[in-house]
Structure formats: C-alpha cells, structure tokens
Amino acid sequence: MSITRREFGRVALASAPAIGTLLRGNLAAAAVGPAQPKMSQWAGVQLGLNVPYSLGTGNNIAAEDLLKQVLEIGVGALELRAQPVEHFLGSPTVRAAAEAAKAGGGARPAALTPQQKAEVRTWRLAAPTSKLKELRQMYEKAGVAIDILKVDDLYAISDEELDYFFQMARDLGARAVSAELPETRSDTKRIGAFADKHKIFMAYHHHAQAAAAIYEEAFTEARYNAANVDIGHWTATQNASPLPFIAKHHDRIPHIHVKDRRLGTNGGENTPFGQGDTPIRQILQAIRDNKWNIRPIIEFEYKVPEGSTRVAEIKKSLDYCRASLTS
C-alpha cells in the first residue's frame, strides 16, 4: 500500500498539534533524566521492541535474562510488560509462574483465582518499589530505555493498583502505560483520569475495532488518553493506510506497533517486513521528516521461516526499518 507525496503533504499540513508538547514534557518530567540510547536509532528515530512478547518466551521472565536477549538483538528501547518488573521486585506470583514455565508448565500460566488476585493486590501495595531505580539504571547502563510499560488486566484492578502501575512507569522513565482497548467503553474514562493524575500517557492498543472513532472519543475523555496505533492491524482490518490518522493525531500517539500485514482484501496475513501491504517505509519516513515524537515499536508476529530463528528475523525487521530511515 502506498500514499502519494501529494496526499502525504495534505495530511501532514493538516495535522495541527492536539495537545502541544505533552510528549516532550512527559519525558522531561521523569524523576531521573531520560536515557540516551544509541542502539537501533537511525536518522534521529529510535526503534524499539515489544518484549517479552516478541521473543516468544512468555511474560514471566526475569528482567536480567530479558536484558541479555535484548542486547543480543541490539535494540535500544522497549515496550516492556510489567511481569519482568514485578519479577525483579520479588513478586511471589510472577516468580512462581516463571519457575513453572521453566519446569515445562507452559509459557502461559493459569488464570488467578479471586483469592490469588487479592494476594497479588496485597503484595503490590507493599512492594519494594525503591528497587525500580536499580532496575532502570541496569537497563540504561546497558544502553536500553524502558519507553512503554504494558500492563495486563488493567481494567480489572483496583484504584490503588492503578496508582502503583502509573508510578512504576514514571520511576522507570517510561513515556506511557499501554494496554489493549477495553471491552467496556467507560473504562477509557476511568483509566484516563489516572493518566491525567500522573501525567503519563495511557496508550490503548487496537486490533479489529473501529479504532479511529474509539480513539477520538477517548481523546476527549482525558488529556493523557492516547493511541497505540498498530500499523499492521490497521492495514489488515481497515483496508487503509494509518498514515492520515497518525499525521492528524501524532501528539496523542506515544508509540506505534510496527509489523507488516496484507490488506484484509488480500488475505490479511502477517508477513516479513517489506512483503505485505503495510506502508512501513512511508510511516517511518514521515516520523523522521516531521520529527514526530512517536516511538516505532516492532511487534514480531509473522511465522519464523524454516531454518531461521526468531532473533534472526527480528534483526531482519530492524534492518528493514534502518534502510527505510536512512534512504
């Protein structure tokens, strides 16, 4: 899929900033100065990776082990799920799930019972969050910035736990918390209130929903409600380029998920980068040329070809993005 230079000019010129310099201010507001990652950064655009998801390890992995894999790939920014963070803090639930996975119990743990959820809540409200500075320093010393904190089951937790996760994001230097779009529309208003309170973006991730309309409504509910546009899902489910929406609302998009998919009318499959219909190159170049403060985050989902490895394919995806940004 492509967008002409004339069409791009129209959408870029029409994209007035929605909320000024919130993205830049949000980074500056972190308690410790933001990292200056150099890995996977080209033409002024920092590429990142959604982990542990993209690695296929399951979410309950130790933060130290995860960092080793990130450095093997050579990526300098992350959308990081909360489980490795809580593992580092000593969560009995996360550590037990990690040990079960190592013992062959599967990467996906069983759903928690109500009693277990209550125990998790009690642990979180007494967690040694002062250790978050140590975790952040460990990653930043290695040249890796924790840019986005992804939280599972966000809509089912208590207000106190929401404060816990938004403060966790701030302590880690993240620009946003992310989660899937909720099934209950009123949840974006509830979560948005916490985003405004903490001045940390809440970036909602879409799949096949009518994303543009949902996002634009959520933007009116809270100043820090934001969009995590998945450019592959958008291409496959909307049969259209997401670039016009990104250009219009770039100040409300802390990060995008980068993957290649075919148009829905062309099968909708995930493909290696450059083989589908998603306008990856045009979108990355638009971020570069307009200096939009959007972090492109690779979310690896296509089938690993026979004879290759997941790490090798992620590196190929990074290479495609590098070539797009340096051409």
Say which residue the tokens 């009518």 belong to.
210
What is the arithmetic mean of pLDDT over 256-282? Answer: 98
Rounded Cα gap, residues 160 and 178, in angstroms = 17
Q: According to the model, what pLDDT value does residue 38 have?
A: 81
Point out which residues pair with 204 in neighbouring strands. Answer: 179, 227
Three-state secondary structure string covering 47-99: CEEEECHHHCCCCCCCHHHHHHHHHHHCCCEEEEEHHHHHHHHCCHHHHHHHH
Least confident of 20-29, 30-39, 186-195: 20-29
Say which residue the tokens 């639930």 belong to.
93
Q: According to the model, what pLDDT value does residue 102 have?
A: 86
CATH number of domain containing 160: 3.20.20.150
Rounded Cα gap, residues 136 and 81, in angstroms = 14
Q: Which is more confidently placed, 93 or 10?
A: 93
Least confident of 5-19, 254-268, 282-296: 5-19
Interval 188-216: pLDDT, tens: 999 999 999 999 999 999 999 999 999 99
Say which residue the tokens 């010129």 belong to.
13
pLDDT band at 9 (very low <50, low <70, confident <90, very high): very low
Interval 292-320: pLDDT, tens: 999 999 999 999 999 999 999 999 999 99
Please give the residue range of the domain that contains residue 144: 5-326
Q: Which is more confidently placed, 142 or 112?
A: 142
Rounded Cα gap, residues 245 and 279, in angstroms = 13
Rounded Cα gap, residues 270 and 232, in angstroms = 8
pLDDT band at 1 (very low <50, low <70, confident <90, very high): low
Q: According to the model, what pLDDT value does residue 105 have?
A: 62
| Most confident range, picked from 34-38, 144-148, 206-210 | 144-148
Q: According to the model, what pLDDT value does residue 107 have?
A: 57
Least confident of 103-117, 235-249, 269-283: 103-117
What is the arithmetic mean of pLDDT over 140-164? Answer: 98
Q: For all residues of the chain together, what is the average pLDDT? A: 91
On the question of pLDDT at 25 being above 50, the answer is: no
Q: Are strands 225-230 and 255-258 parallel, antiparallel or unpaired?
A: parallel
Q: Which is more confidently placed, 108 or 277?
A: 277
Domains: count for the chain = 1
287: phi then psi, degrees, rounded to nearest 5: -60, -45
Interval 51-82: pLDDT, tens: 999 999 999 999 999 999 999 999 999 999 99
pLDDT band at 103 (very low <50, low <70, confident <90, very high): confident
Burial 41-68 (b: 16+ CB within 10 A, else e): bbeebbbbbbbbbbbebbbbbebeebbe
What is the arithmetic mean of pLDDT over 122-128? Answer: 98
What is the arithmetic mean of pLDDT over 136-158? Answer: 97
**Read out DSSP for 120-189?**
HHHHHHT--GGGHHHHHHHHHHTT-EEEEEE-TTGGGS-HHHHHHHHHHHHHHT-SEEEEEPPSSTTHHH
* 204, containing H or E segment: strand 201-205
* 226, containing H or E segment: strand 225-230
On the question of pLDDT at 261 being above 50, the answer is: yes
For 135, other C-beta atoms within 10 Å of its C-beta total: 21
Rounded to 5°, the CA angle 155-156-159 comes to: 80
What is the arithmetic mean of pLDDT over 89-107? Answer: 88
Token pair, residue 223, equals 């100043």
What is the arithmetic mean of pLDDT over 3-7? Answer: 47
